[in-house]
């Protein structure tokens, strides 16, 4: 006989099985219970566990079996070295970055949280949103593209959407926004990662991004203190110097950081740069300078949050400590940093810091100060109550169509036409019968278009989205890829194609890439310029066909300073696929072009330049 009372009893007993899993709250708030947890946890941590809390190491998001050696290394970092935080990225085998998927990333981070005795805080470099690491997420162009739109509201939306998606996969902390003012056109590592060259505008966009991120519960970082914009060296390879005097630093470099602090930024990342006006000691690097970290940032600017080093495995710092890598961690901590990011050898770094505390070189109270800040950060995220994210919520949170449309619109609004002669735009679609059928005969061609794509390496994805979009409009477009290793051998064939073309599009992919080694004129360094054989080939194309050639800077806008003979010049400020697609729409007159340069291109165009070109009817 059916008994409703029995069914009700079974249902009530089963409810805890489905409801006992608690997921991370989205709001960031340190309540009284969280503060009690901080003090209680601080008392329970061993000295080794306290030292481990101040280190952050990589985790690369991909599917991993629990017995996979890579996963076991993550477990070792947690169990043996007691690390308190991870920086999430994806597998990287230069020059190839292997993107992962949101579910794989979230599942891995959930597993690490379960494996850890204490809750983990997870950070990431989501400078383009999650799309520069994970497929299926909302794609944004680079910061300088956002600056070119002229709308701080775009930066706020950028921060909010990125925050929503990051928290959904279990990442709490973004190492962004870049607060550097890119005043040096030869800067090889900041460049389009900055919102622009005007300190007031950069400050506005930084503050707006922070507001948006905070509204979605994401922690943010202003970087790279005290400013990395007026440098010409990649700190991943060597030591960069900020040469301005104190008045200049106060007026330019420090302004966005002051604004970020006023906006409630959660952390500030200190760069591996020298600033003689702030600390004149020889080889005094900001990230290990007590004068800059404690004296300026903590005491003078009254920053109360987490101070984090830039990655300790970067060449600018490791070269100075090549004989004693453990010492860089000790010096960085003594300088006033709370969190030590990506030591080159976590075992060596932790042992050195542990010995410094045991010997009294670093007081236990000083260690407790930083650990307390880190624990408060975790409690403010509610990680003391719940560590996991709900995988079933990803398909409603990540990659929302309205968010994807917003990112695409920002890329379109950023497009800036710096110069044109009226002979190239708009390109015309090829007229062919048969609609969009995949197999069809080409019966009519209304123009002959040659597209030459310059990149660092033809094996990379640079240009693929642009090519696809162009071929969907011009079936017989001649699309040619070249790079510094191929430019010389391909030059004759490319010049012949250019000579017979009705119109030519040159797409130059040059964006800041960490640690990229470029050899030019007998020297070695990083560069976002088109140098060597690639630069020679572009000059030859411009000499042969200046009137009918449109150059698209898919990334670095300063490219034009080396090619003043350019008659047609379009900037995207970003090499992200979303910017490639936007550029093609502009070339074919499908969208209005109305962006303005957020930087000056020496000898070519001033900040604010931008030709408005209406879409074709």
DSSP states of 74-133 = HHHHHHTT---EEEEE--EETTEE--B-HHHHHHHHHHHHHH-SSPPEEEE--EEEETTT
pLDDT of amino acid 104: 97
Average pLDDT of span 39-53: 98
Q: Identify the CA nearest to 224 among candidates 192, 247, 195, 190.
A: 190
- Which pLDDT tens digit goes with each residue over 427-462? 999 855 444 555 444 444 444 999 999 999 999 999
Report which DSSP code applies to 388: B
DSSP per-residue codes, 292-303: IIIIIIIIIS--
CA distance 552 to 555: 9
Task: Kindly state whether residues 162 and 39 are assigned to the same domain.
Answer: yes
Task: Kindly state whether residues 140 and 222 are assigned to the same domain.
Answer: yes
CB 514 within 8 A of CB 469: no
Catalytic residue, candidates 154, 310, 483, 562: 310
Task: Kindly state whether residues 135 and 264 are assigned to the same domain.
Answer: yes
More confidently predicted of 238 and 218: 218
Average pLDDT of span 290-298: 98
pLDDT of amino acid 524: 37
Partners of residue 122 on adjacent β-strands = 86
pLDDT of 2 higher than 80: no
Helix H, strand E, coil C: the string for 302-320 is CCCCEEEECCCCCHHHHCC
> In the structure encoding, which two tokens stand for residue 497, read together?
């194609």
Task: Kindly state whether residues 209 and 137 are assigned to the same domain.
Answer: yes
Q: Residue 497, Cβ neighbours under 10 Å: how many?
A: 18
CA distance 278 to 295: 10
**Residue 369 host element (H or E):** helix 364-380
CA distance 610 to 600: 12
CB 21 within 8 A of CB 388: yes
Task: Kindly state whether residues 376 and 456 are assigned to the same domain.
Answer: no
Average pLDDT of span 14-20: 45
CATH of the domain at 368: 3.20.20.300
Q: Which of 399, 425, 458 is the last residue of a domain?
A: 399
Task: Kindly state whether residues 351 and 420 are assigned to the same domain.
Answer: no
Burial letters 216-225, b for 16+ CB under 10 A, else e: bbbbbbbbbb
Report which DSSP code applies to 375: H
pLDDT of amino acid 238: 57
Q: Alpha helix locations (H) across 184-300?
A: 199-215, 246-248, 255-262, 290
* Any domain includes 461: yes
pLDDT of amino acid 528: 64
Task: Kindly state whether residues 269 and 339 are assigned to the same domain.
Answer: yes
* Any domain includes 592: no
pLDDT of amino acid 609: 98
- Which pLDDT tens digit goes with each residue over 490-517? 999 999 999 999 999 999 998 765 444 4
CA distance 90 to 100: 7
Domain residue limits at 30: 20-399
Task: Kindly state whether residues 375 and 487 are assigned to the same domain.
Answer: no
Q: Which of 370, 399, 428 is the last residue of a domain?
A: 399
pLDDT of amino acid 22: 86
* Any domain includes 2: no
Q: Residue 19, Cβ neighbours under 10 Å: how many?
A: 8
Q: Identify the CA nearest to 514 among candidates 316, 329, 284.
A: 316
**Residue 458 host element (H or E):** none
CA distance 158 to 166: 12
pLDDT of amino acid 66: 94
pLDDT of 318 higher than 60: yes
* Any domain includes 273: yes
**Residue 62 host element (H or E):** none
> In the structure encoding, which two tokens stand for residue 120, read together?
């983990």
CATH of the domain at 490: 3.40.50.1700
pLDDT of amino acid 337: 98
- Which pLDDT tens digit goes with each residue over 574-589? 999 999 999 999 999 9
**232 — pLDDT class (breaks 50, 70, 90):** low
pLDDT of amino acid 513: 53
CB 549 within 8 A of CB 541: yes
Task: Kindly state whether residues 449 and 357 are assigned to the same domain.
Answer: no
CA distance 455 to 452: 10
Task: Kindly state whether residues 434 and 373 are assigned to the same domain.
Answer: no
pLDDT of amino acid 378: 98
CA distance 263 to 177: 12
- Which pLDDT tens digit goes with each residue over 336-345? 999 999 999 9
pLDDT of 552 higher than 50: yes
pLDDT of amino acid 187: 87
C-alpha atoms less than 13 angstroms from C-alpha of 415 in its C-beta half-sphere? 28
Residue 2: is it exposed, middle or buried by C-beta count within 10 angstroms (0-12/13-18/19+)?
A: exposed
Partners of residue 554 on adjacent β-strands = 509
Task: Kindly state whether residues 427 and 311 are assigned to the same domain.
Answer: no
Average pLDDT of span 121-137: 97
Number of domains in the chain: 2
Task: Kindly state whether residues 247 and 277 are assigned to the same domain.
Answer: yes
Q: Is 236 a catalytic residue?
A: yes
Q: Which of 399, 426, 458 is the last residue of a domain?
A: 399
More confidently predicted of 510 and 395: 395
- The model carries a pTM of 0.92
DSSP per-residue codes, 2-23: --HHHHHHHHHHHHHHHH---B
**78 — pLDDT class (breaks 50, 70, 90):** very high
**94 — pLDDT class (breaks 50, 70, 90):** confident
* Any domain includes 314: yes
pLDDT of 381 higher than 90: yes
Average pLDDT of span 40-55: 98
- Which pLDDT tens digit goes with each residue over 145-163? 999 999 999 999 999 999 9
Q: What is the average pLDDT score of the chain?
A: 91
- Which pLDDT tens digit goes with each residue over 538-550? 999 999 999 999 9
* Any domain includes 615: no
* DSSP reduced 3-state for 523: strand
Catalytic residue, candidates 172, 214, 228, 236: 236
DSSP per-residue codes, 125-180: --EEEETTTBTTSPP---HHHHHHHT-HHHHHHHHHHHHHHHHHHT--EE---B--
* Any domain includes 617: no
pLDDT of amino acid 233: 63
C-alpha atoms less than 13 angstroms from C-alpha of 90 in its C-beta half-sphere? 19
pLDDT of amino acid 243: 86
CB 462 within 8 A of CB 443: no
* Any domain includes 10: no
CB 509 within 8 A of CB 554: yes
């Amino acid at each position: 006989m059916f008994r409703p009372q029995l069914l009700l009893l079974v249902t009530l007993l089963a409810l805890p099985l489905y409801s006992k899993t608690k997921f991370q709250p989205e709001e960031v708030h340190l309540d009284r219970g969280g503060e009690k947890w901080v003090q209680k946890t601080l008392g329970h941590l061993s000295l080794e566990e306290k030292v481990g809390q101040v280190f952050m190491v990589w985790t690369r998001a991909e599917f991993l079996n629990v017995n996979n050696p890579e996963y076991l290394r993550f477990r070792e970092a947690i169990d043996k070295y007691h690390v308190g935080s991870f920086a999430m990225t994806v597998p990287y085998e230069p020059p190839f970055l292997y993107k992962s998927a949101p579910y794989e990333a979230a599942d891995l981070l959930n597993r690490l949280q379960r494996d850890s005795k204490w809750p983990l805080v997870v950070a990431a470099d989501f400078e383009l949103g999650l799309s520069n690491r994970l497929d299926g997420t909302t794609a944004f162009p680079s910061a300088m593209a956002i600056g070119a739109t002229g709308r701080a509201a775009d930066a706020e939306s950028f921060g909010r959407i990125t925050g929503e998606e990051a928290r959904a996969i279990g990442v709490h902390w973004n190492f962004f926004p870049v607060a550097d003012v890119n005043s040096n056109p030869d800067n090889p590592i900041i460049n389009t990662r900055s919102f622009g060259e005007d300190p007031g505008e950069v400050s506005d966009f930084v503050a707006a991004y922070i507001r948006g991120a905070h509204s979605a519960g994401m922690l943010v970082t202003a970087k790279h203190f005290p400013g990395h914009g007026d440098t010409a060296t990649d700190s991943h390879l060597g030591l960069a110097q900020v040469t301005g005097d104190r008045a200049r630093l106060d007026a330019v470099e420090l302004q966005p950081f002051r604004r970020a602090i006023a906006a409630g930024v959660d952390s500030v990342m200190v760069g591996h740069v020298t600033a003689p006006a702030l600390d004149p000691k020889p080889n005094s690097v900001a990230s290990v300078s007590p004068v800059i970290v404690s004296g300026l940032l903590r005491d003078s600017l009254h920053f109360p949050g987490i101070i984090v080093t830039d990655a300790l495995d970067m060449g600018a710092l490791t070269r100075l400590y090549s004989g004693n890598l453990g010492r860089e961690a000790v010096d960085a901590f003594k300088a006033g940093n709370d969190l030590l990011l990506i030591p080159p050898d976590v075992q060596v770094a932790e042992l050195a810091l542990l010995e410094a505390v045991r010997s009294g070189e670093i007081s236990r109270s000083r260690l407790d100060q930083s650990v307390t800040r880190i624990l408060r950060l975790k409690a403010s995220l509610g990680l003391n109550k719940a560590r996991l994210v709900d995988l079933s919520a990803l398909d409603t949170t990540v990659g929302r169509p309205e968010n994807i449309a917003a990112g695409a619109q920002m890329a379109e609004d950023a497009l800036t036409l710096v110069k044109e002669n009226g002979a190239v735009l708009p390109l015309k679609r090829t007229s062919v019968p048969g609609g969009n059928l995949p197999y069809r005969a080409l019966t009519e061609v209304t123009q002959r278009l040659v597209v030459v794509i310059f990149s660092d390496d033809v094996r990379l994805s640079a240009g693929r989205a642009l090519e696809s979009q162009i071929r969907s409009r011009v079936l017989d477009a001649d699309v040619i890829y070249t790079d510094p290793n191929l430019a010389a051998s391909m030059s004759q064939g490319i010049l012949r194609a250019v000579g017979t073309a009705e119109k030519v599009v040159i797409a130059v992919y040059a964006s800041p890439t960490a640690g990229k080694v470029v050899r030019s004129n007998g020297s070695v360094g990083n560069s976002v310029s088109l140098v060597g054989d690639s630069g020679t080939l572009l000059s030859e194309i411009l000499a042969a066909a200046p009137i009918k050639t449109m150059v698209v800077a898919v990334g670095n806008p300063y490219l034009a300073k080396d090619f003043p003979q350019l008659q047609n010049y379009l900037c995207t400020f970003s090499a992200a696929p979303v910017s490639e697609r936007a550029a093609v729409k502009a070339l074919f007159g499908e969208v209005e072009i109305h962006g303005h340069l957020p930087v000056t291109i020496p000898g070519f165009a001033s900040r604010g330049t931008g030709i408005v070109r209406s879409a074709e009817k």
